[in-house]
Amino acid sequence: MEAERLEYEKWLAQGFAASMEYLKRNPHFRTSPQLLYPGSKCAIIVSVSYYTEKPLLPAPYFGDIARYAVGEDYHNVLTRKLNELRAKIESVLGRPILARAFTDDVQLCEQAYAVRHGLGFSGKNTMVIGPKLSGSYNFVAELFTDLDLEPDEAYQGTCGQCFRCGVACPTKAITDDGHVDANLCISFLTIENKNGIPLHLRKALGRWVFGCDICQEVCPYNQRPLETPWVEFKSGSGVGHNINLFEILAIDTQARFKSLFGHTPLSRPKRAGLIRNALVVLGNSLADSKDQKDNSWVEEARDRIWTFFECEANPMLREHAAWAISQHPDAPANTLQKMLAREIDEANKRKIEEYLGCL
């Protein structure tokens, strides 16, 4: 795994891990699982489709959820299923085995293992693409064991001259040589990022309120994806493909947020992160409202954003609320004036003045 380790360290050195500090700790561990899981000899690497068909957005005040997150939290589901696999192996062997299940474990280069073990190849969008599975709409997970198993052969596949993902990426986060700069990736910005969304990237978020699938949607290998075989990854087990942004603005505490999203991947950015994203998407939707057939929702959006601003203690969120209001082509200067009068944070005051100046 020397080549993969060097590739990973190069990615870190370029600053592409953004503020994900946990990825920078002990990078050599990621290609040396024996250091992390002493006693394990072999890993069983698995992959499963999470793909479900996406319906049209029901209304402009709804946002899009990336497909991997529409159902139950995959960490729980995959760990549970791998533990069932372990129990089956033990019953066949008639003895206990040493085994630990993982998925999305930041201490491991999971994709490099998946490629080495024949599940697919690494596309320029950096996803493991498994033509025998369903393209790249797959999770990767692993069971480290003390079993002695025959190694699989690496899958030989390639993107060829294609670079559709890089061209389609709204923030140009994919480099020519097939790496992702997380600083620019909508998935990072909406899920892992703890700060505000940089101003120059807000429009590019479009309607993505959690994650992003664009570089997978355009991939030729994903044109006939297999529907997930597991009910846990279908809409009914989680938040579904679209979410009402007005309802997100109404979540007033982290405890309420947890009760709504604790069992889903949306719990990751916490209340503040999800509301921040919802405000950016509402701003983008307000910006497009002139072209919408029915824009009767606009008045309600403005009222809800103002009410949210009035009650919110987090200055980062108040700034995003003011930005969202300023995106409407008939942006009501009076709402921004009211916000300016009420704002107590000096940096926010300057930003609101800027937004007023742009009207």
Q: Are 112 and 31 in contact (CB under 8 A)?
A: yes
**62/221 with CB nearer ligand B12:** 221
Distance CA 283, CA 161 (A): 37
- Residue 112 as a binder of ligand B12 (CB under 6 A): the answer is yes
Q: Which does 339 bind (CB under 5 to 8 A by kind): ligand B12, ligand SF4, none?
A: none
- Residue 126 as a binder of ligand B12 (CB under 6 A): the answer is yes
Q: Which residue is nearest to ligand B12 (CB)?
A: 211
- Residue 159 as a binder of ligand B12 (CB under 6 A): the answer is no
Q: Shortest distance, CB of residue 323 to ligand B12, whole angstroms?
A: 23
Alpha helices in 17-149 (DSSP H): 33-36, 74-93, 110-116
Nearest to 280 by CA among 327, 339, 338, 238: 327
Q: Shortest distance, CB of residue 317 to ligand B12, whole angstroms?
A: 21
Q: Are 296 and 325 in contact (CB under 8 A)?
A: no
Nearest to 183 by CA among 278, 351, 195, 272: 195
Q: Shortest distance, CB of residue 263 to ligand B12, whole angstroms?
A: 18
- Residue 114 as a binder of ligand SF4 (CB under 6 A): the answer is no
Distance CA 23, CA 292 (A): 42
The structure tokens listed for 238 are 């989680």
Q: What is the contact mask toward ligand B12 in residues 179 to 218, using x (rule: CB under 6 A)?
A: xx-x--x-xx--xx------------------xxx-x---
Q: Is 237 helix (H, G, I), strand (E, B) or coil?
A: helix
Judged by CB under 6 A, the stretch of 36-44, 119-127, 155-163, 328-336 that binds ligand B12 is 119-127
Q: Shortest distance, CB of residue 13 to ligand SF4, whole angstroms?
A: 20
- Residue 100 as a binder of ligand SF4 (CB under 6 A): the answer is no
Residues 48-67 touching ligand B12, rule: CB under 6 A, are: 66
**Single residue of 54, 104, 258, 272 touching ligand B12 by CB under 6 A:** 104
**Single residue of 96, 131, 198, 220 touching ligand SF4 by CB under 6 A:** 220
CA distances from 3 to 8, 9, 142, 191 (A): 9, 10, 21, 29
Judged by CB under 6 A, the stretch of 55-63, 134-142, 150-158, 227-235 that binds ligand B12 is 134-142
The structure tokens listed for 184 are 């620019």
105 labelled catalytic: no
Local structure of residue 128 (DSSP, 8 states): E
Distance CA 147, CA 307 (A): 59
Q: Which does 171 bind (CB under 5 to 8 A by kind): ligand SF4, ligand B12, none?
A: ligand SF4
- The residue to which tokens 């474990």 are assigned: 105
What is the helix (H) or strand (E) element at residue 243, kind and residue range?
Answer: strand 242-244
Encoded amino acid at 210, one letter = F
**222/327 with CB nearer ligand SF4:** 222
Q: Which residues contact 289 (CB under 8 A, 6 or more apart)?
A: 60, 295, 298, 328, 329
Q: What phi, psi does 86 have (nearest 5°)?
A: -60, -45
- Residue 44 as a binder of ligand B12 (CB under 6 A): the answer is no
Q: What is the contact mask toward ligand SF4 in residues 153 to 172, using x (rule: CB under 6 A)?
A: ------x--xxxx---x-x-
Active-site residue, from 64, 104, 148, 294 = 104
Q: What phi, psi does 102 have (nearest 5°)?
A: -140, 150
Residues annotated as part of the active site: 104
Q: Which residues bind ligand SF4 (CB under 6 A)?
A: 123-125, 159, 162-165, 169, 171, 173-174, 180, 185-187, 212, 214-215, 218-221
Binding site for ligand B12 (CB under 6 A): 3-4, 7-8, 11, 20, 23, 66, 68, 103-106, 108-112, 122, 125-128, 136, 138-140, 179-180, 182, 185, 187-188, 191-192, 211-213, 215
